[in-house]
Amino acid sequence: MKRTKQNKKPSAILCGDFHLREDQPVCRTDNHWKAQWKKVDFISNLQKKYNCVVIHSGDFFNQWKPSPYLLSKTIEHLPDQFHTVYGQHDMPQHNMELSYKSGLALLQRAKKITILGECNWGETPTEGSLFFPEVNQMILVWHILTYQAKTPWPGCTDPMAGKLLRKYHYPLIVTGDNHKPFVEEYEGRLLVNPGSLTRSDADQIDHKPRVYLWYAESNIVEPVYLPIEDNVISREHIARKEERDGRIDAFISQLDSDWEAAVSFEENLERFFQANQVRKSVTEIVINAIE
């Protein structure tokens, strides 16, 4: 499907994986705190311009228990009509049953966001997430790692984007967890993975953060690129990674070639859990220990 600029007002702004945080990513040489709010403000202004819903596909915060200061700044900058689902980073111990304790739950109780009923991390869709009356159809918003062509890492068992489109017959599926943006199309239906809001890992040096405008009637998306600064990503920390944490040293030796030094310790843990089919009870204990 040809994706061209539309003259009509978009039905939604699609985004994902904000990972809002108070600390500084080790790879960043600028002020990441200011950089993230600049991007959120850009999306907020876009929402005001088009007066449409903002659909976010999970991992809103980088950690489920944001500080009062981070929550306050979030309320200050958050776009209107904001809809999201829970990503694993939004859940205590990656456990949906404990989500009521989370910062995301607080934002919903304060009526600053809407948490969609379908489909949070670790869940399988049973119905759509959000209804759009102009096309009389539901769309699906799902925090699930999916990808195109090459698997993200050895042992990855998550489904490819094309497989999801063939299985779930929604006009639009918006996914999160994969920080690389892409659009997959199958028989006129779309899967949009918006990617991450910021560049928080060294391997994202070429990443161009973006949101997508979705036009429901034509089922077409248009990328809108977020403001970024050049030369703010460093790889110097990778050479010192082993010195930083003795626990990571031991874990690297066990993971051997499956370990990727350019991504975070927590993300490598998640990949290890999946590749080795670690029991959920064990996963929760480990996640709780490092939070």
Residue 290 pLDDT > 80: no
pLDDT tens-digit profile of 59-108? 999 999 999 999 999 999 999 999 999 999 999 999 999 999 999 999 99
pLDDT tens-digit profile of 238-276? 666 656 666 666 656 665 556 566 667 777 778 788 878
Rounded mean pLDDT, 132-149: 95
DSSP states along 41-83: HHHHHHHHHHT-EEEE-S--BSSSS--HHHHHHHHHHPPSSEE
Helix ranges (DSSP H) in the chain: 32-50, 68-77, 103-109, 161-167, 241-244, 246-255, 265-275, 280-290
The structural domains of the chain, ordered by start, are 12-225 (3.60.21.10), 236-290 (no CATH)
Measure the CA–CA gap between 269 and 87, rounded to whole angstroms: 16
Rounded mean pLDDT, 42-70: 98
**Confidence (pTM):** 0.81
Q: Say what the pLDDT of residue 2 is.
A: 44
Q: Say what the pLDDT of residue 235 is.
A: 77
Measure the CA–CA gap between 46 and 132, rounded to whole angstroms: 20
Rounded to 5°, the CA angle 21-25-29 comes to 125
